[in-house]
């Protein structure tokens, strides 16, 4: 005998990797009766239907969200404000909304603007499940298993609404954590957005040399690891950088100060200072990797 599903109707805007995997995970745990999908590309929606990610392609967003238990905004962050504006007038009183955006302060600002008095129904989230691939065909029921999802609840959120959104991500297999939107953006500026910027900068710099082919031809495994994220999606990362500009500028300046210190040590030939910096980094990196259980 199985219990009744926790969510009757779930509406997903954007049925690619993030939204599709969310739908598949809830379906796999039988926690949803019906998933309705919206998206900009009919081809993607049809593919999502064929793959069993969604049960129906939505026609009228207002109508569909009126009796939805849960809405997920899983489009690029830049498209969210327009969707918020479109659905706000029709939101059911018991409908709870979450999202999958990589930045949070900007999404929260858009939610305040467009949801107004109903912003308490929106519980922002950031699933930390990066993947090289994207699109409905990349969606997997286990994408979020043992991955972190960061909720950044708002003062306006009821305890019940936070619990419902938490529960949805937990059904997906995720470990749910909470940060404030500002704290979230500061942390991810440092551990994700800055490294992407640095990696893009290194590869871009190499391409600007007249003899860049010679340089690329001798790049090996260290370069491969360091620059893997320089193959990330340019538009997505442009949007993340702009959305989290303040925190990212602060991290970039902090990092430049680090480089200045290393430059001084290098210039002076101060081997002890270099070794100490490298040694502290190595110990921390090893400790981190051990904690993660992966190299």
Residues 97-116 interacting with its own copies (rule: CB under 8 A): none
- How far apart are alpha carbons 124 and 117 in whole angstroms? 16
Rounded to a whole number of angstroms, the minimum distance from the CB of residue 85 to its own copies is 22
Q: Which lies closer to its own copies via its Cβ, residue 83 or residue 194?
A: 194
**CA atoms in the 13 A half-sphere facing the CB of 243:** 28
Cβ proximity to its own copies: between 94 and 216 the closer is 216
Among 49, 57, 138, 262, binds its own copies (CB under 8 A): 262
- Those residues with Cβ within 8 angstroms of residue 259's Cβ, 6 or more apart along the chain or in another chain: none
40 versus 233: smaller Cβ distance to its own copies: 233
Closest approach of Cβ 150 to its own copies, in Å?
A: 7
Closest separation in Å from C-beta 253 to its own copies: 8
Among 8, 89, 116, 130, binds its own copies (CB under 8 A): 130
Residue 222 parent element (H or E): helix 221-227
Angle at 80 between CA 79 and CA 84, to 5 degrees: 130
Provide the β-strand partners of residue 57.
37
Q: What angle do CA 103, 104, 107 make, to 5 degrees?
A: 100
The encoded tokens of residue 166 equal 């938490």
Rank residues 11 and 108 by Cβ distance to its own copies and give the closer one.
108
Nearer of residues 109 and 219 to its own copies, judged by Cβ: 219
**Which residue carries 């918020």 as its tokens?**
84
Residues in 12-71 that interact with its own copies by CB under 8 A: none
Q: Which of residues 227-246 bind its own copies (CB under 8 A)?
A: 227-235, 237-239, 241-242, 245
Residue 108 DSSP code: H
Residues 147-186 interacting with its own copies (rule: CB under 8 A) = 148, 150, 177
Instruction: Determine, following the binding rule CB under 8 A, whether residue 220 of this chain makes contact with its own copies.
Output: yes
CB of 6 to its own copies, least distance (A): 27
Residue 175 sits at φ, ψ, to 5 deg, of -95, 115
Give the phi and the psi of residue 153 in degrees, each rounded to 5: -60, 155
| Piece of the chain touching its own copies by CB under 8 A; list 20-28, 40-48, 67-75, 128-136 | 128-136
Closer CB to its own copies, 63 or 258, in the complex: 258
| Residue ranges with strand state E in the chain | 7-13, 32-38, 56-57, 70-73, 96-99, 125-127, 148-151, 175-178
Tell which positions 189-218 bind its own copies, by CB under 8 A: 190-192, 194-207, 212, 214-216, 218
């Amino acid at each position: 005998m199985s219990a009744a599903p926790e969510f009757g109707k779930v509406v997903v805007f954007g049925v690619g990797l993030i939204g599709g995997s969310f739908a598949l995970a809830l379906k796999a745990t039988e926690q949803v009766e019906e998933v309705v999908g919206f998206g900009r590309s009919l081809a993607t929606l049809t593919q999502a239907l064929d793959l069993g990610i969604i049960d129906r392609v939505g026609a009228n967003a207002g109508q569909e969200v009126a009796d939805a238990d849960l809405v997920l905004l899983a489009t690029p962050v830049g498209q969210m404000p327009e969707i918020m504006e479109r659905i706000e007038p029709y939101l059911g009183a018991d409908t709870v909304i979450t999202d999958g955006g990589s930045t949070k302060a900007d999404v929260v600002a858009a939610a305040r603007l467009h949801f107004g008095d109903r912003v308490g129904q929106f519980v922002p989230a950031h699933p930390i499940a990066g993947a090289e691939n994207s699109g409905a065909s990349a969606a997997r029921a286990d994408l979020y298993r043992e991955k972190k999802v960061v909720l950044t609840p708002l003062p306006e959120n009821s305890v019940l609404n936070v619990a419902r959104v938490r529960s949805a991500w937990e059904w997906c297999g995720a470990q749910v954590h909470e940060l404030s939107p500002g704290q979230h953006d500061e942390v991810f500026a440092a551990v994700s957005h800055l490294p992407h910027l640095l990696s893009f900068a290194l590869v871009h710099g190499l391409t600007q040399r007249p003899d860049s082919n010679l340089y690329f031809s001798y790049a090996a495994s260290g370069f491969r690891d360091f620059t893997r994220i320089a193959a990330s999606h340019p538009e997505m990362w442009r949007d993340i950088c702009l959305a989290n500009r303040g925190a990212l500028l602060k991290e970039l300046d902090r990092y430049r100060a680090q480089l200045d210190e290393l430059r001084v040590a290098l210039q002076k030939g101060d081997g002890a200072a270099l070794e100490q910096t490298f040694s502290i980094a190595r110990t921390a990196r090893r400790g981190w990797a051990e904690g993660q259980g992966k190299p």
